[in-house]
Amino acid sequence: MKLTVTAKIKILPSPEQKELLFQTLHAYRMASQFVSKLVFDEKVLHQQKLHLLTYRKLRADFGLRSQMAQSVMKTVIARYKSIQGNGHPWTLVRFKKPELDLVWNRDYSMRNPMFSVNTLSGRIKVPFESKGMEHYLDGTWTFGTAKLVHKRGKFFLHIPVTQPVDEPSVHDIERIVGVDMGINFIAVSYDSRGTTAFFHGRRVKNQRSKYKRLRKRLQQVGTASARRAIKRIGQRENRYMTDVNHRISKALVDRYG
């Protein structure tokens, strides 16, 4: 068996490196938009055909390096295949978030205490915060394709890390727990011993409704300060939900081990 988790590692670029990362993120997002529009119009989901249609333009017009151009195509194809797989209608996929896919050993690698990250202008070596991440950096985990993410003024590498684990023996399993997630109840758990736990969602629903009303009023105002306030409200709501989810997951772990 293999266990895969996502390690979210904060990197610490210099001001000059930040500018390079911003330029790369912007070019990657615009290139993804361009390829997405072509896929939407032509319904081309075969990478070789897409390569013939887009590769030269991705290199010349967006300044992408070869591997980045390939990653853009793969990312866009994966999004459209996900739409098809989930039975959704054919819809134009838009890329709004500043994210960049990085292939291990091609676009990024690690040499303690630095990550080497590919940009439009070549590789840069960036220090990172290892506190809390030491477990994943001990050489026993295999790194996969990472995402470079920019959130709230900070840069992160979201890295899927994989490690082989022993197959659990039936005799080692003391209890099986199922967890259902929803809105009226954020989580409901039921275990093989017949015990249940309910985590009510009414307070969360009320809080999110309050944020929604605030955003609606500010959108009607439409000023620059109102748009800044909308952004702050979104960040506050994200922090609130992160805290709620953390407390519920901790309670489940405390209850079931």
Query: Residue 117 has what pLDDT?
Result: 95
C-alpha dihedral, 257 to 237 to 159 to 37, nearest 10°: 140
Domain ranges of the chain: 1-167, 171-256
Give which of 157, 140, 167, 116 is closest to 6, Cα–Cα: 157
Placement of tokens 């300044």 in the chain: 63
How would you class 245 by CB atoms within 10 Å of its CB: exposed for 0-12, middle for 13-18, buried for 19 or more? middle
List CB contacts of 140: < 8 A, sequence separation 6 or more. Answer: 163
> What is the pLDDT at residue 63?
93
Is pTM beyond 0.75 here? no
Burial of 105 (0-12, 13-18, 19+ CB in 10 A): exposed
Query: Phi and psi of 111, rounded to 5°?
Result: -135, 105
DSSP code, position 122: E
Q: Which residue bears the tokens 């003391």?
A: 174
Q: And the tokens for 208?
A: 């999110």
Burial 34-46 (b: 16+ CB within 10 A, else e): bbbebbbeeebee
- Return the closest-CA partner of residue 128 out of 155, 94, 100: 155
How many residues appear in the chain? Answer: 257
Q: What is the pLDDT of residue 125?
A: 95
Predicted pLDDT of residue 170? 75
* DSSP per-residue codes, 34-60: HHHHHHHHH----HHHHHHHHHHHHHH
> Could you list the pLDDT tens digit for every one of the 257 residues in the chain?
889 999 999 999 999 999 999 999 999 999 999 999 999 999 999 989 999 999 999 999 999 999 899 999 999 999 999 888 888 889 999 998 888 999 999 999 988 789 999 999 999 999 998 887 888 888 889 999 999 999 888 999 999 999 998 887 777 778 889 999 888 899 999 998 888 899 998 999 999 999 999 999 999 988 999 899 998 998 999 999 999 999 999 999 998 88
Reduced to 3 states (helix: H, G, I; strand: E, B; else coil), residue 187 is strand
pLDDT score at 115: 94
